[in-house]
Amino acid sequence: MVSAYVRHGRLSPGLEKVGIYCTRCRRFEIERPLQPALIEFIKKFPILKHVTTSLKPYMNTVRGLYFHGSRVRGDHREDSDYDLVLITRDKIGDELKTELKEHNIQVEVFTLSQVKKQLGLTPSYLLTVLRESVPLIGVELRDKLVRKKMNDIALQVELKDCIKQLEYLKKMLKNEPDDYIKARVIHSAILRLRQAYSIKRLYYKDVPELSLDFTYSKGNFDEIYELYRIVRDMVHGKGLNEEEIPEMVKTLTRDELKGLVSSVDAYAKDVFDRITGSMGREKINVNPE
């Protein structure tokens, strides 16, 4: 909790500042210095200035702000979003997400209790984000979270669920798929691939980039991944519309899609066998039924 002195105290001239709402006075009183990382990234990505403005009403509950995704990795496209994870003490509404989305900034909000729950049940996504992110606020919190022992059992369960989903995709391809099914298969298969790849990277530091680590037996992986991006943007936007599905998706054959699903399935099983084998556990035996 910020003390009354800090809320109403003096600040040295020249400091970069952001307003904090004082619940006692019901107005913005203190302007707390921004963390150096946030200042530097605003210089590099001026659009992030919108974040400091939008966060002002919530600063009393903010515990961490982490910049991640393609913009940080450097493999972004011109229209790529700016991806942020915000960790708060208390739950906040969707107004912040809506406001920042207008500036092509996607923010996911987790409370501290939600972070604890996710790291215990389905840790791969949040652990990957925290490890690879640039902390704009809350360096200590990020370091504390990533230093915790990984939940090996939860990560194995994620992989098993991933493999079960791939078995379901195989069943979808027993008959000739329509364009809508083709798009769904691409989207779901690459999601499972990314999940398995993220888990692998949590255990091994020397994993190359995905396009080098994964072998697609039926074609060009870069092309299929670009189709995934297009379909993903449709799903996250207005949803899949069969009339707007790209022609390249429509021309994919059932054999090509089966090859994609089988390749992802083999990759996910290999990741499972590697991480469980290194722990002395039995290899995976997933019953498709």
CATH classification at residue 60:
3.30.460.10
User: Is 18 within a domain?
Assistant: no
Q: What pLDDT was estimated at residue 243?
A: 78
Is the CA virtual torsion 31, 35, 40, 41 positive or negative? negative
Residues 118 and 131 in one domain: yes
Q: What pLDDT was estimated at residue 283?
A: 45
User: Is 229 within a domain?
Assistant: yes
- pLDDT (mean) for 83-103: 94
Confidence of residue 282 (pLDDT cuts 50, 70, 90): very low
Burial status of residue 266 (CB atoms within 10 A of its CB: 0-12, 13-18, 19 or more): middle
Residues 122 and 169 in one domain: no
Last residue of some domain: 105, 120, 147?
Answer: 147
Whether the predicted pLDDT of 26 surpasses 80: no
Residues 62 and 139 in one domain: yes
Q: What pLDDT was estimated at residue 259?
A: 95
Last residue of some domain: 93, 119, 147?
Answer: 147
Residues 132 and 250 in one domain: no
Query: Within a 10 A sphere around the Cβ of 191, how many other Cβ atoms?
Result: 16
Residues 192 and 85 in one domain: no
User: Is 222 within a domain?
Assistant: yes
Cβ–Cβ under 8 Å, residues 29 and 8 = yes
Radius of gyration for the alpha carbons in the chain, expressed in angstroms and rounded? 22
Number of residues assigned to the chain: 289
User: Is 11 within a domain?
Assistant: no
> Which residue range is the domain that position 276 belongs to?
152-280
Q: What share of the chain is helix, strand, coil (3-state, %, to 5)?
A: 55, 15, 30
Digit-coded pLDDT (tens) for 124-145: 999 999 999 999 999 999 999 9
Alpha-carbon gap, residue 56 to 59, rounded angstroms: 5
Whether the predicted pLDDT of 13 surpasses 50: no
Site of tokens 């966060």: 55
Burial status of residue 20 (CB atoms within 10 A of its CB: 0-12, 13-18, 19 or more): buried
- pLDDT (mean) for 32-59: 78
Site of tokens 């990984």: 150
Confidence of residue 38 (pLDDT cuts 50, 70, 90): confident
User: Is 142 within a domain?
Assistant: yes
Q: For the chain, what is the domain count?
A: 2
Residues 101 and 47 in one domain: yes
Residues 129 and 187 in one domain: no
User: Is 16 within a domain?
Assistant: no
Site of tokens 């409370």: 111
Please choose, from the candidates 122, 124, 119, 283, the residue with its C-alpha nearest in 3D space to the C-alpha of residue 201.
124
Residues 156 and 226 in one domain: yes
Query: Within a 10 A sphere around the Cβ of 192, how many other Cβ atoms?
Result: 22
Residues 176 and 102 in one domain: no
Residues 53 and 117 in one domain: yes
Residues 217 and 260 in one domain: yes
Alpha-carbon gap, residue 264 to 248, rounded angstroms: 20
Alpha-carbon gap, residue 16 to 138, rounded angstroms: 17
Residues 132 and 210 in one domain: no
Q: What is the β-pairing status of strands 27-33 and 17-22?
A: antiparallel
Alpha-carbon gap, residue 265 to 56, rounded angstroms: 45
User: Is 181 within a domain?
Assistant: yes
Whether the predicted pLDDT of 286 surpasses 50: no
User: Is 121 within a domain?
Assistant: yes
Last residue of some domain: 125, 147, 169?
Answer: 147
